[in-house]
Amino acid sequence: MNPNQVSEFRDDYRRRHIGRRYSGIAHFCFTSLACLGAVMFCASRLHGVQWWEWLTVPVTFLFANLVEHAGHRGPMHHPRKGLGLIFERHTRQHHRFFTPQRMEFEGVRDFKAVLFPPVLLLFFFGCFALPVGVPLALLTTANIGWLFAATSIGYFLNYEWLHFSYHTPEDSWIARLPGVARLRRHHTLHHDHELMSHYNFNITYPITDWLLGTLYRPQAGESKAAAADM
């Protein structure tokens, strides 16, 4: 998309999908406070955690990274029955609102095009954290169940914060935080329409991208079209 097409799409998106009462600040704060509150509640339920129970944290982190990759590579970029809204919002809206040349949002109302809708918090808690955390607690220990829930919710918030940072102005203090610039480059490459269905599906840390061979690193003289055909 050329700059004029991006501007036209942004104007149309704002007109059709961002209501007059929408507040980007309220959206960001709700997501942050709801997730932090849930993590704190889970942490408050821990009692006498054994060293081996703490292993739940890194294992859950890696599991969440795998789920992030699978969800992004799958329904977010390929229409699936019953999940068409996810494909529509991500591929047809987010990837047209933000291109490699126009990664920054232009105001707080544009947060709508970056953050997940608040209702997806309920979907995430109800379809991921609870269905796995409860059986873990019943089959192992209550501490493991609470640690799984706290880590998975914390990972979701980490996802939202990092993704948000990639779409801030490049000269902002957020974009200059340690490590953010590198992760931002990783995500910016994914926003290239020739690469988005093939590479860089991790929005947070490209661990699963590296493990599954979907990590794209531009090589001198290599065309993006050739890379996508690999």
- Other CB atoms closer than 10 Å to residue 181's CB: what's the count? 14
pLDDT of residue 118: 84
Taking only the tens place, the pLDDT of each residue in 141-198 is 999 999 999 999 999 999 999 999 999 999 999 999 999 999 999 999 999 999 999 9
CB 150 within 8 A of CB 43: yes
pTM of the model: 0.91
State the number of CA atoms in the 13 A half-sphere of 21 facing the CB. Answer: 0
Q: How confident is the model at residue 221 (pLDDT cuts 50, 70, 90)?
A: low
Q: Compare 138 and 223 and report the one with higher pLDDT.
A: 138
Residue 226 has a pLDDT of 45
The confidence band for 230, taking pLDDT boundaries of 50, 70 and 90, is very low
Average pLDDT over residues 60-71: 94
In tens, the pLDDT along 100-132 reads: 999 999 999 999 999 998 887 777 777 777 788
The number of beta carbons lying within 10 Å of the beta carbon of residue 4 is 8
* Cα–Cα dist 16/127, whole Å: 29
Q: What is the pLDDT of residue 3?
A: 80
CB-based contacts of 110-113 (< 8 A; 24+ apart in sequence): 110/10, 110/14, 110/24, 111/24, 111/25, 111/27, 111/28, 111/164, 112/17, 112/18, 112/22, 112/24, 112/27, 113/13
Structure tokens of 62?
């890696």
CA distance from start to end of the chain: 24
- Give the span between the Cα atoms of 75 and 85, in whole angstroms: 9
- % of the chain exceeding 90 in pLDDT: 77
Rounded to 10 degrees, the C-alpha dihedral 151/84/81/192 comes to -80
* Structural domain count of the chain: 1
Mean pLDDT of 192-210: 96
Domain span holding position 112: 3-228
Mean pLDDT of 204-219: 93
